[in-house]
Amino acid sequence: MATHKLLLLPGDGIGPEVMGEVKRLIDWLNSAGIAKFETDTGLVGGAAYDAHKVSISEGDMAKAKDADAVIFGAVGGPKWDAVPYEVRPEAGLLRLRKDLSLFANLRPAVCYPALADASSLKREAVEGLDIVIVRELTGGVYFGEPKTITDLGNGQKRAIDTQVYDTYEIERIARVAFELAKKRKNKVTSMEKRNVMKSGVLWNEVVTQVHKREYADVTLEHQLADSGGMMLVKWPKQFDVIVTDNLFGDMLSDIAAMLTGSLGMLPSASLGEVDVKSKKCKALYEPVHGSAPDIAGKGLANPIAMISSFGMALRYSFDMGALADKLDQAIAAVLASGLRTADIKSEGTTAASTTQMGEAILKEL
C-alpha cells in the first residue's frame, strides 16, 4: 500500500477543532489498514503569526510543497486585525495557493435534503441543488501588480489593485470546468463583466475559443457576473458548472454556499497543474466556511465541511473514490439520523458537539 504524505494546517478559530475530527478519521484509516497516511502538522495564519511573526513559516511552506496534499482549516480573526498587511492571517493561505500554483478552486454547492429548510430560500428553490463553482485561484486582482497604497500628500492616499489575466490562465481553468461538466450535467456557465472590464472581454473570448476547439459538445453559456449573481439567487438549479475569475468566484461561491443552507457542510479543493510524469497535482483541501472566531473553542463547530474536504482529497489526490463515496454516505446517514451541530439544528433533531459529530460519522463508516 502506497504511503501518502499529508500536511495538516489547522489554522485559527474553529480550524483546530474541525481538523481534530479529520485527524481522528485518518488515525482510524491507518489503524484499520485501509490506507497509509503519514501526517505532519504546521502553523498558518494567526497561529503562525503568534509563533513566528509570519503568516506561514518557510519550514511549513517547504513541508506543503513536499506533501501529497495539504489539509487546511481556516485562518483569521479579530485578534490579528491590526497586524501588518504583509503578515495578516490570509497572506498564509494566499501564499500557499500561489506558491503551489493551485489555480483551480472547486466549490460544490450542494443542498443536503435534510437541511433544505435551513436555507433562507424556499425549499423548492434549493432542494436537490447540486452545482459546482470553478474559481480561478492564482490570478486576477488577488495577485496582480501594482498593489499599493501611496501617500499623495495633503492628507490624500491612493490605493491601487490590479486585475491581470493572461490567455493561458483562462484556458487552463476553462478546461477544468469543461472536464468537470462532462462528468456532470454537461453545462458550463462562464461569468465575467465584459461590459466593463477588459479582463472580462478576454475571459469571454478565451472560454469561447476553448469551447469551440475542444469541448463543442458541452453546453456553454455566458452571463455577466452581476446578473449571474441574480440568477443564482432566483433559481440556482439552472446551473451545473460555473466558471469565473478569482474575485467574482470569491463572491459567487460564498453566495452559492449560503443559498444551500449547508455552509458548515461544504468542502472545497484547490488543485494545481497535473504533472505529466507522475500524473499527480499539488492540492489543498479546505472547508468553504471561515474561522468563526465567535464560536471557537466551544465545541460548537460543525466538522462536516472539514471531513468532507478530506473526502475530496481521497477522491482527487489519492484515487480512493470508493472510500470517498462511503464517507459521503456516512455523513448523509448521520444527518438522516437527526444528529446536528448548533449551526444546523432544528426542531426534533439531536444536538451534537464537534466531537460527537466526528465520532458518529466515523462509527457509521
Ligand X SMILES: CC(C)[C@H](C(=O)O)[C@@H](O)C(=O)O
Identify whether 250 is a catalytic site residue.
Answer: yes
- Taking CB under 6 A as the criterion, the residue among 169, 240, 250, 343 binding ligand X is 250
313 binds, options a second copy, ligand X, none, Cβ within 5 to 8 A by partner type:
none
CA 85 to chain centre: 23
Residue 235, phi then psi, degrees to nearest 5: -155, 80
Residue 294's contacts (CB-CB under 8 Å, 6 or more residues apart) are none
Half-sphere exposure of 76 (CA within 13 A, CB side): 12
Write down the least CB distance from residue 264 to a second copy, Å: 12
Half-sphere exposure of 166 (CA within 13 A, CB side): 7
Closer CB to a second copy, residue 3 or residue 85? 85
User: Which one from 27, 166, 226, 325 is the annotated catalytic residue?
Assistant: 226
> Residue 231: what residue type?
M
Residues lying near a second copy in the complex (CB under 8 A) are found at 76, 85, 88, 90, 94, 120-122, 125, 141-142, 144, 147-149, 152, 155-168, 193, 195-199, 201-203, 225-227, 229-230, 233-235, 247-248, 250-251, 254-255, 257-259, 263, 290
How far is 280 from 260, CA to CA, in rounded Å?
A: 32
Omega of the bond leading into 146 within 30 degrees of 0 (cis): yes
How far is 298 from 208, CA to CA, in rounded Å?
A: 49
- Taking CB under 6 A as the criterion, the residue among 90, 161, 171, 328 binding ligand X is 90
How far is 314 from 323, CA to CA, in rounded Å?
A: 7
User: Which one from 40, 99, 130, 254 is the annotated catalytic residue?
Assistant: 254
Write down the least CB distance from residue 20 to a second copy, Å: 24
Identify whether 193 is a catalytic site residue.
Answer: yes
Binding residue numbers for NAD(+): 77-90, 290-302
Map residue 196 onto helix, strand or coil. coil
Identify whether 182 is a catalytic site residue.
Answer: no
Q: Crossing angle for the helix pair 15-31 and 354-364, nearest 10 degrees?
A: 20
Write down the least CB distance from residue 254 to ligand X, Å: 7
Residue nearest to ligand X (CB): 90
Identify whether 99 is a catalytic site residue.
Answer: no
- Segment (H or E) for 132: strand 130-136
161 binds, options ligand X, a second copy, none, Cβ within 5 to 8 A by partner type:
a second copy
Identify whether 117 is a catalytic site residue.
Answer: no
39 binds, options a second copy, ligand X, none, Cβ within 5 to 8 A by partner type:
none
Catalytic (active-site) positions: 142, 193, 226, 250, 254
Q: Which residues are near ligand X by CB under 6 A?
A: 90, 93-94, 195-196, 226, 250
